[in-house]
Amino acid sequence: MKLHDEIVMKELDLIDQTISRLDKQIQTSKTVCITLWTAWIGWFIVKVNTTTSSHELGLLIVFSAVFPIIFWKVDSYYRAAVISSSKRQSLISLYLNLSDETIKFPILDPVGRLYDDSNYDALLESSKDRLSERSYHELKNKNLPNRYTYKEVVWFYLPLMIVSLALGGYFLL
């Protein structure tokens, strides 16, 4: 095995570690968001019986929708890096298994920032005759979706925002 190929194999390990670290960051950000959001709402609901008017309480609870918005952005950033790393894994797999030696392949780029889509497309085109039609189209269409609309992210943070707005609206009326 050539040194270049050994470095690429090491990069696969680095990508795996990067994805694991990013997944942990995603889970941590979700935990912090839920904790802050719940504490904010709970603290002000308890306070309603003491010093705060119902109208002020409604405004403060509506403001709790800011927590999911901020953490939605953080989660989306990390998730985009995970998707980019996964695309990089596909690129390395394609390079190791199917490509010819004429393709220039950047190394040690776990999140895939050094290469552009032309590298990926060139590698894919050089390997087209060795891929099944289905595999070729799956790899060809492996683009990054809008990072703010991942289903898992939307279905986690959007209900928090809806509850904040509904509960705040209840106290405002």
Tens digit of pLDDT for each residue in 2-48?
A: 776 777 788 888 889 989 999 999 999 999 999 999 998 888 778 76
Question: Can you say whether residue 104 is alpha, beta or left, with left for phi > 0 and alpha for psi between -120 and 50 degrees?
Answer: beta
pLDDT at site 24:
95
Q: Comparing C-alpha atoms, which of 131, 132, 129, 104 is closest to residue 118?
A: 104
pLDDT tens by residue, 44-94 = 778 765 666 778 788 888 889 999 999 999 998 888 888 878 877 877 777
CA–CA separation, 67 and 24 (whole Å): 19
pLDDT at site 75:
92
pLDDT tens by residue, 128-170 = 666 667 666 666 665 556 667 778 888 999 999 999 999 888 8
Give residue limits of the domains in the chain. Answer: 3-172
User: What six digits make up the tokens of 156?
Assistant: 């986690």
